[in-house]
């Protein structure tokens, strides 16, 4: 079976600071090579109901950007204690960076050992020099490619993106199931023709079967809303959150 890397996703502070910290550790223990740590935002326009609700809960609980960096720092300590090398990416929206200060935000991310960033609403031509500033600090700022992206723009995005590109599997918001069908495969091949960097495919990837179908097609599969929903479920039941998320992650990878 061909290898595929998994990128998991958590909303920091959902349903609480400590619970999300344990969930993040569990995902790493389960074999995720990458983890998106979402800094919650009040109007996450690319996200579906599961992540939107999680952001609201985290914000109502008092979560803020400084706590986000404290979360990253504590998670890095836990990863180190368990000899884990999971790469952490901060996923958030432009307003968070603007309010905090882009330079200050990037410097804090670097200090915390963050691998990269995913900021969906800061486009290539209106990014306030985010790509340039991130690259200067050695942070991988990841560009997004969507189904309606034109070939020439794909080429520009690939050139400017960090180590890989985030390919949005379908139009719309996160959460709904994506069909791994011929039209998706044609779209991925079209991206590959104009984008030499590795592809991380996300939006609506929720099951082992979907991930298996992507083996040999893309090197990285992104699972977002399914993790957020499972974290909510796991926190409502008895037992160690990290153990449950570890098992869930292993199940997605077939381990």
Catalytic residues: 36, 47
For the four alpha carbons of 74, 75, 78 and 83, in that order, the dihedral sign comes to negative
Tokens of 69: 């960096």
161: CB partners within 8 A, 6+ apart: 131, 141, 142, 143, 197
Q: Which two tokens stand for residue 61?
A: 């609980």
Do 207 and 157 touch, CB atoms closer than 8 A? no
Cα–Cα distance list, 223 to 10, 103, 144, 185, 190 (Å): 10, 29, 15, 18, 22
- Would you say 175 and 223 are in contact if contact means Cβ atoms under 8 Å apart? no
Residue with tokens 């997605």: 252
Helical (H) or strand (E) element with 9: strand 5-11
C-beta of residue 97 within 8 angstroms of C-beta of residue 118: no
Say if residue 150 is preceded by a cis peptide, omega within 30 of 0.
Answer: no
Provide the greatest CA pair distance for the chain: 51
């Amino acid at each position: 079976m061909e290898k595929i890397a998994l990128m998991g996703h958590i909303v920091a502070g959902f349903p609480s600071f400590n619970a999300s910290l344990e969930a993040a550790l569990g995902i790493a223990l389960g074999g995720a090579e990458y983890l998106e740590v979402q800094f919650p935002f009040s109007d996450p326009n690319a996200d579906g109901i599961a992540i939107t609700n999680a952001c609201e809960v985290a914000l109502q609980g008092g979560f803020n950007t400084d706590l986000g960096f404290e979360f990253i720092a504590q998670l890095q300590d836990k990863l180190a204690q368990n000899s884990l090398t999971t790469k952490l990416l901060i996923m958030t929206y432009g307003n968070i960076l603007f309010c905090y200060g882009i330079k200050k935000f990037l410097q804090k991310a670097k200090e915390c050992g963050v691998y990269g960033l995913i900021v969906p609403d800061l486009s290539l031509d209106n990014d306030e020099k985010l790509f340039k500033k991130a690259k200067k600090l050695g942070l991988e700022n990841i560009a997004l490619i969507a189904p309606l992206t034109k070939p020439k723009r794909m080429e520009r995005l690939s050139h400017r993106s960090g180590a890989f590109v985030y390919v949005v599997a379908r139009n719309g918001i996160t959460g709904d199931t994506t069909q791994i069908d011929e039209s998706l495969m044609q779209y991925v091949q079209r991206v590959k023709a104009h984008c030499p960097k590795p592809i991380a495919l996300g939006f609506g990837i929720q099951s082992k079967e979907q991930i298996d179908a992507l083996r040999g097609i893309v090197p990285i599969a992104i699972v977002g809303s399914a993790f957020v929903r499972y974290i909510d479920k796991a926190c409502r039941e008895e037992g160690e959150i990290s153990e449950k998320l570890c098992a869930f992650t292993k199940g997605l990878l077939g381990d």
